Chain A
Amino acid sequence: MEPLTINRKESKLRVAPEWADVCFTCGTCAGGCPVTGVDGMDPRKAVRMAALGLDQELIDSRFPWICTLCGRCEYACPQGVEILKMMRRARSLRERDKVPGPIHKGVAMCLERGNNLGIPKDDFLFLLADLSKEMDEDEGFPGFYAPVDKKGANILVTVNSKEPFGEPDDMKFWWRIFYAAREDWTTTSTEWEGVNWGLFSGDDEAMKEVTGRIVKHLEELECSTLLLPE
C-alpha cells in the first residue's frame, strides 16, 4: 500500500489534518441530515474520509450529489467544521463529463447560448409578446406588455428557463404583480437566465461568467434593482 500524505496542500479537498482533531465525531451533523444512511454514508463519515485522505473516494461517491447542500449539518456542528464547503468542493473535483444529470450540460449550454435550455432569442421574444397579448386582451390587464431591454427601467428581472420552456403561463404571476404596482421593469432579449447551475455543478468559473452577465445588463440598462426570482 502506498503511504498517504495528508496536508492542506496535497489534499484535494484542501482539508487540513487538524480536522481529525477538530471534529469530535459526535455525529450531530449526521443526526440532523435527512439522507444519513443512504449508501451507508452521512456527513460525519464524509468529514472523516476527508480527514483520512480518502479524498478521491469521496469525490467519486454519490453522496456529495445526494446531499442538497442545505447546510443543516454545518449549522449544527459544535466545532464549526465547514462541511458544506467540503461537499461543494467534492462536486467541483468531479470530472465535468461525470457530473450526474443535466446540470453540467445546462452550464455549457448557458455559456454558449445564454440560457440553460438553449432557447433561441426569436422564440423567446415571440413567446413574451404572445403571452402579453393574452393578458392585454383576454385576462383583464389592458395595456400590459413585457418590456425587453428597456433602458432606465427600475427593476431588471431574470427568467428561469424552465418557464419559457415548459410552464410559460407561470411568468404571468410576476407580470400581474408588476401591472398592479405599475412597476417600471424589464427583462433582456438574451442572457436572461436566472438559474446559475454552476453553483450546483461546482463550476466557479461558469458561475462568475453567468453572474457577470447579469451585472453587465444592470449597468448597460441602468437599472437600479435586480429581481432574481429563484
Chain B
Amino acid sequence: MKTFGEAFFEEPRWVTQQCCENYVEMHPNRMNNFCCGAGGGAWAMPYDAERIYYGRIKAQQIMDTNAKMVIAPCHNCRDQIMKGLTKEFDLGIETKYLWELVADSLVIEPWTEEEIKKANELRDAQYERDEIDLDEEW
C-alpha cells in the first residue's frame, strides 16, 4: 500500500468472483490481514520452523473459512500455503494462483485457420532466428 501508493484489494476479488460462485473472505482481511509467513524472502530463508510458526495464523484463517480452495495472488503465498501450511496444519485444501484459477475457468475458442497460419509463420521465423530445432536432442 505504502509502496504502490494505492491498494489493489478489490480487483483480485472481482476476478475470483467471476470464476467462482461461492466466494468467502478470510478474517481479518485487506489492510488488516496477516502475511502468509513466506513474505520478504522467508520462503527461501533457512528458518523453516519460524516460517511455519508465522503461518499458523494464516492456517487458522483458512480453516475458519471452511473453503475447499484458497486463491493466492503471489508465488510465495502459493508455495507457503500449498507446500508448507497445508501439510503442517492438515488443511486439506487446494491452492491455486489467481491466474491459474482464471486459466482453469476459460472456455477456449480455438483460433481460426488463418490465425493459426499467421502464428505458425511468426513462430517459424522466430525459431530460425534463435536456431531452435525441436527434433534435435539436447
Question: Contact at B110–A142, with CB atoms within 8 Å?
Answer: yes
Q: Please indicate the chain B residues that have their CB under 8 angstroms from the CB of A101 in the complex.
A: 41, 44-46
Within 8 A of B (CB), among A39-70: 62, 65-70
Is B64 engaged at the interface, CB distance under 8 Å to the other chain?
no
Known interface pairs A35-B50, A129-B127; A100-B31 also in contact (CB < 8 Å): no
Residue of B with least CB distance to A178: B103
CA distance A173 to B78 in the complex (A): 14
CA distance A103 to B119 in the complex (A): 39
Question: Contact at A176–B103, with CB atoms within 8 Å?
Answer: yes
Query: Knowing that A160-B75, A229-B75 are A-B contacts, what are 17 other residue pairs whose CB atoms are under 8 Å apart, sorted by A's residue number?
Result: A34-B54, A35-B53, A69-B40, A72-B35, A101-B45, A101-B46, A102-B44, A129-B127, A143-B115, A143-B120, A145-B120, A145-B122, A150-B126, A173-B97, A174-B103, A180-B108, A230-B74
Give the residue of B39, B40, B119 whose beta carbon is less than 8 angstroms from that of A144.
B119
Give the residue of A68, A75, A84, A130 whose beta carbon is less than 8 angstroms from that of B38.
A68
Question: Contact at A70–B123, with CB atoms within 8 Å?
Answer: no
Q: Please indicate the chain B residues that have their CB under 8 angstroms from the CB of A182 in the complex.
A: 111, 115
CA distance A175 to B54 in the complex (A): 34
Question: Contact at A200–B41, with CB atoms within 8 Å?
Answer: yes
In the complex, how many angstroms separate the beta carbon of B1 from the nearest chain A beta carbon?
A: 8
Question: Contact at B108–A66, with CB atoms within 8 Å?
Answer: no
Residue of B with least CB distance to A125: B130
Question: Contact at A141–B103, with CB atoms within 8 Å?
Answer: no
Question: Contact at B75–A230, with CB atoms within 8 Å?
Answer: yes
Q: Please indicate the chain A residues that have their CB under 8 angstroms from the CB of B2 in the complex.
A: 71, 74, 84
Residue of A with least CB distance to B97: A173
CA distance A144 to B103 in the complex (A): 15
Chain B interface residue count: which class?
35 or more
Q: Please indicate the chain A residues that have their CB under 8 angstroms from the CB of B46 in the complex.
A: 100-101
Question: Contact at B34–A34, with CB atoms within 8 Å?
Answer: yes
CA distance A125 to B41 in the complex (A): 28
Residue of A with least CB distance to B116: A143
Most buried by B among A65, A84, A182: A65
Within 8 A of B (CB), among A104-123: 106, 122-123
Question: Contact at B108–A229, with CB atoms within 8 Å?
Answer: no
In the complex, how many angstroms separate the beta carbon of B104 from the nearest chain A beta carbon?
A: 8
Question: Contact at A143–B111, with CB atoms within 8 Å?
Answer: yes
**What are 12 pairs between A and B in contact, CB < 8 Å?**
A65-B41, A65-B45, A68-B39, A68-B40, A106-B44, A145-B119, A147-B122, A173-B97, A173-B99, A174-B103, A179-B108, A230-B75
In the complex, how many angstroms separate the beta carbon of A195 from the nearest chain B beta carbon?
A: 8
Question: Contact at B106–A142, with CB atoms within 8 Å?
Answer: no
CA distance A35 to B99 in the complex (A): 30
Within 8 A of A (CB), among B95-138: 97, 99-100, 102-103, 106, 108-111, 115-117, 119-120, 122-123, 126-127, 130, 132, 134, 138
Question: Contact at A173–B75, with CB atoms within 8 Å?
Answer: no
